[in-house]
Structure formats: structure tokens, C-alpha cells
Structure 1
């Protein structure tokens, strides 16, 4: 049975959700809901549950902002769009991936060199069962323009480009809470990583351009963030005053 691993109220109107295999964040307020990412396709009931846990109504969902177009972040976005008219948006450079005009996604072949490593087979099976190989493209996805995005909930997010994991992957910084929604540019855990609870990168084969991904990860360290909400693993909180 698929279950939400944990939820954290980061700030007023912001609920971070650690899902079974990937994460998303619920923004709510002003009788509206917007999401950052959407888990796997099979997580749709959990996404709706998390909106209710935030104290909102799933029917209030108006838009989903995508950090990057992998199936574990697009999830049921296409169904929300077609069935409810929810807008799905991503950086212009990422639209081909989100729309599935092009695909920058780890394949089973990419995993073969690691197949004997602990956890690889189990994670692969779980990801496939969650819809990881399904058709998750959103043909009508729209572009996020400019350097910031104003949510219908009253929040304002700064767009932080983080190419490498995919060509157009981005992070979002919420300045009021100093929360960095990092997608997969940096994570704090994954079944194929040894450590959990510290900021790190995914294994290189997950990245479209591993060198660019490493440069993006280094730049993110300089962001004015006190909380990191990663695409995988638990929330990481640290005061800016504690950093070197």
C-alpha cells in the first residue's frame, strides 16, 4: 500500500510532502492550491490526500509547476490537466521533455551496470509499478517566463536555473521562508544512495549532463536558503548563520 512518508509545514501555506519514492510541495491560500511537482503517476491519491492534509480542497488545484520532466515529478499532471483544466508549467528549456517531444530520462539500460548493487532491483521494480514507464507527457504544458512566478496562493517564487539533471531543470526559492525547492539538482536521500539526511547528488547516470549537474549543485550551495525541500529524501533545515 502506497503511503505518504511524512509531511512538514514549512511556513504558512506551504506543506512539504515526502512521498513513497519522490516528493512534492503543496502551496495553498486564497482558496487556491498550487503544487511543485506531482510525484509518480500512482501517487495521485496521495497528492489529493496531501492537499486535504494542508487544509485545502483538491478541487482548488489550479497549477502544477514542474522542476523537471521526469516521470517521478510529472506524475499525474497530464490527468489533472485533461480532467480538471489544471495548468502545468515548466521552464522553456524543459518543455520538450515535459511534453515528451524529447525524453531525457534514465532507462533500464542505464541501470544495468548497477544492477548488482544493493537496492537497485527493488527500487526499479517499485518505480515501474508506480508508473515510471508510463506515458506522462503533458502536450499542453506552458512556459514559465521571467525570473519569478507569482502563485495564486499569494506566494512568490524565484526561479533558479539548475541545468544538468535535465537540460531545463530548475529549482524554486521561496524568499519569505528561505526554502529552496531543489527538485533533483540536490537531494537528501534515495534508495540508490548510501547516505540519507544530508545534501548530495543523485548517481551520475541519472543526469543528462553530469558535469553540468555538478556545477549547478555547487551554485545552489550559495543560495540564501535555510531550508531545502528536495525531490528525494527528507527536508533539510539549517540556519544561514551556521554556514561557513
Structure 2
């Protein structure tokens, strides 16, 4: 866990990351790891000095299982609001599925880390009650603001989020700094093309993100990066 700015806690999970915003007695998450990461998500909330009952909303970059995690259960059992960009709602609600398939993984099936990753990614975690983000700037109950940056490509409605006061960019899977199926770690890069619904669109979104004046980049996979030029 890394505190990157007041009230902003980045968590590098076992295979997927999330960000905890906290303040004013509230907690909001951007993404929440895999379903099996739920105890770690709750441990990271406790690290802020608040309890899970303070969790009011989960903002998701996109509807893959390693970012939705336990959002459905939080939504159905505790009434936690789950939101995503409008174009991503069908994927989040599982009205359609844009996710890497077994056939996509066959060329790298024997590579170290592929099978454990694939097994952990399986699961129906769609959130039927998810709602659309309807503003260009999301005002969090914690006192933070998130500028919504559409970054289609990895999925149709993938979005990144920029917190302007702390100059923190949350990139989901538009840009990562590591992954079980990547050789390098610690530098911004794209996931392999077969992970993307639209590889050309994902590349264009990644280029646009490179223009964002961020001090911190918090990716969906790999460590947080502090940029010297930010």
C-alpha cells in the first residue's frame, strides 16, 4: 500500500490493483481487484482508519473480473453504488462480454504465469445494478475530484481518471507497469494486443494518456510510478 497524496491510497494487489479514496468519514474505490481479493480490499480500507461500512461507491475503469472484484456483492448486500462510463455499462452488467478468451491465450498457454492468471480471472462478477457516470468530473464524497478520461480500446467504454489536485492518473488497463504475461516491470507499457477489444483504439488511447501532466500514475497492474516530470 502506498499513500500517494492525502486521502489517496494505492494498493498493488497480488495480480490487480485498486485505489482507495478516503476522507470526510467516507471511502470510495476505483476498481477492487479480483473477487478473491476482497479480504485485502477490506484490509486496505481499514488501513485508512475507517471501516467497510464507510464504503459508499466503487468507480470501475472497465468491466473485467480483475477490476470488478466483489463489487456485485457490495452492491447487492450493502447498497454500495457501482458506476462506470456509459459505454462500459453493458460489459459491467454482463449484457455482453468483452474479455480475453481461452482461444486468445493458446499462443502463450505454456508461458509461466498464464494458467494461474487465467484460472483467477474466471467468474461471473457482473453488476446488474451498475449506473452510468453522467458528468465529466466525478465529485467524490471524500472531497476528491476525478476527471473522467474516455480511453476506449481495451474495452469499448474503458475510462481512466485524473485527480487534478494531487496530479494522480489512474489508468486501469489502458497503461500498465507490469503483468504476469509481460517481461518488463516498472515502466509504462500496454498489455499484449490480444487483451484488447480494439488494439488500434487501445494504442491511440495510450498515446493520448502520455500527454496527461501527472505526478503519479496508478496502473491496473504493476507498481505505482512517480514521474519526475509531473
What secondary structure does 1:217 align onto?
helix
State whether structure 2 residue 18 is matched by structure 1 residue 24: yes
Deviation of 1:116 (Å): 2.5
CA distance in 2: counterparts of 1:55 and 1:43, whole angstroms: 19
Whole-Å Cα distance in 1 between the matches of residues 62 and 148 of structure 2?
13
CA distance in structure 1 between the partners assigned to 2:48 and 2:189 by the alignment: 28
Unaligned runs of 5+ in 2: none
Matched, 1:181 2:170: yes
- 1:41 and 2:35 matched: yes
CA distance in 2, matches of 1:231, 1:239: 20
Please state how far the C-alpha of 1:100 moved relative to its aligned partner: 0.2
Cα RMSD, aligned residues only:
1.0
Q: CA deviation at 1:57?
A: 1.2
Q: Does 2:68 align with 1:68? A: no
Q: Which residue of structure 2 lines up, in the alignment, with residue 8 of structure 1?
A: 2
Segments of structure 1 that go 5 or more residues without pairing to the other structure are 1-6
Higher mean alpha-carbon deviation, 67-76 vs 232-241, is at 232-241
How far the C-alpha of 1:115 sits from its partner, in A, is 1.2
Q: Number of residues paired by the alignment?
A: 230
Q: Paired residue for 1:135, among 124, 133, 157?
A: 124
Q: 2:192 — aligned with what?
A: 203
Structure 2: distance between partners of 1:237 and 1:161: 22
Partner of 1:234: 223
Summarize deviations over 1:21-72 as a string: whole Å, max 9, x none: 1000000011100000010011111100000112221110000000000000
Task: Return the offset for 1:119.
Answer: 2.7
2:143 is the counterpart of 1:154: yes
1:86 and 2:75 equivalent?
no
Q: Distance in 2 between matches of 1:182 and 1:39?
A: 14
TM-score scaled to structure 2, two decimals?
0.98
Quote the Cα distance in structure 2 between the aligned partners of 1:153 and 1:109: 42
The more displaced of 50-59 and 7-16 is 50-59
Q: Residue 96 of structure 2: which of 99, 102, 121 is its match?
A: 102
Offset from partner CA, 1:180-235 (integer Å, 9 cap, x none): 00000000000100000000000111100000000000110000111100000000
Deviation larger for 38-47 or 108-117: 108-117
SS of aligned partner of 1:96: helix
**Per-residue deviation at 1:147?**
1.0
Say whether residues 1:223 and 2:212 are aligned partners.
yes
> What do the CA deviations read for 1:150-182 (whole angstroms, capped 9, x no partner)?
000000110011000000000000011111000
Deviation at 1:118, TM superposition (A): 3.2
3-state DSSP of counterpart to 1:62: strand
Partners of 2:115 and 2:78 in 1: CA distance: 36
